[in-house]
Amino acid sequence: MRILFTNDDGVFSPGLLALLSAFQEAGDELLVAAPDAERSGASHSFTMLSPLRAKPVLIPGAERVTAYAVSGTPVDCVKLAYGNLFEKPDLLISGINLGANRGTDIFYSGTVSAAMEGALLGIPSIAVSNIAWKPMSFDAATAGAKFAAEILRREPSIRLLNVNAPDLALAQVRGVRITPAGVQEYEARYEERIDPYGQKYYWIPTGRMNPCGPESDCDERWTNDGYIAITPLVTNMTDHPSLERLRAMQDEITLDS
């Protein structure tokens, strides 16, 4: 099997190396196209107004893996890998992200967007995140990635899975939960600060509003409780329950209303 790996933390991220180490045991062909620098929060952006460059690199600890450092976003990496650098992969895995991608994180995440781009290209794809910014262990995340890969093998109709893992050794993980994404949001107001030259600047806040409660069935709750959370995602964002109702309404409203 040909597996493409990418991320948004950069080609030399320890999370990516952990994935490569976990999957190289099976004898699959492992390929990497990842950003040449950190691109966290890149979402589904791609490069339009500047050239893209892809440089072959050796990843310490994974020297037998064919790897490229790409000058663009995570989505650029996937598109370039698919169209130019490699033959079509059988599976795409994005991660392991340093920090959670739960709830509304999925809209901002370069990690999830890279996997979503893979799904758009017809590749079964997985986004994998460790909920800690400075992880102590990638064991749960790599196990979650393998679990998700087995789901995709058994259910070919599923194209995109988002995995969030607690920062625990595998023996401490309580299990796996298939769960919806939460609805928690970040604070909208940026922090106002003053730099050493007396100039005002703004910094993105990290606090959350509407956190997922301890009794809720959502990704944040389960990872906080020591479980690996796996959420199936879709690339078509149409609000189907509202579609027929709005179609009926379209004949009632005129353009000059």
Residue 211 predicted with pLDDT over 70: no
> What's the pLDDT tens digit per position in 5-62?
999 999 999 999 999 999 987 779 999 999 999 999 899 999 999 999 999 999 999 9
The per-residue pLDDT for range 89-124, each reduced to its tens digit, is 999 999 999 999 999 999 999 999 999 999 999 999
The model's pTM is 0.93
Give 257's pLDDT tier (boundaries 50, 70, 90): low
* Cα-Cα-Cα-Cα dihedral sign, residues 213, 180, 7, 39: negative
Q: What is the H or E stretch that residue 248 is in?
A: helix 240-249
In the prediction, which pLDDT does 204 show? 85
Do 219 and 150 touch, CB atoms closer than 8 A?
no
Query: What does the pLDDT read at residue 232?
Result: 98
pLDDT mean over 213-240? 91
Tell me the pLDDT tens digit for each residue of 141-191.
999 999 999 999 999 999 999 999 999 999 999 999 999 998 877 777 889
CA distance 62 to 133: 23
Backbone angles phi, psi at 20, to 5 degrees: -60, -40
Give residue for tokens 């401490």.
172
- Residue 96: cis peptide before it, omega within 30 degrees of 0: yes
CATH topology of domain 2-185+211-249: Stationary-phase Survival Protein Sure Homolog; Chain: A, (3.40.1210)
> Tokens in use for 75?
């989505």
The residue that leads in pLDDT, 197 or 257, is: 197
Comparing CA positions, the residue from 26, 233, 211 lying closest to residue 126 is 233
Mean pLDDT value of segment 132-143: 94
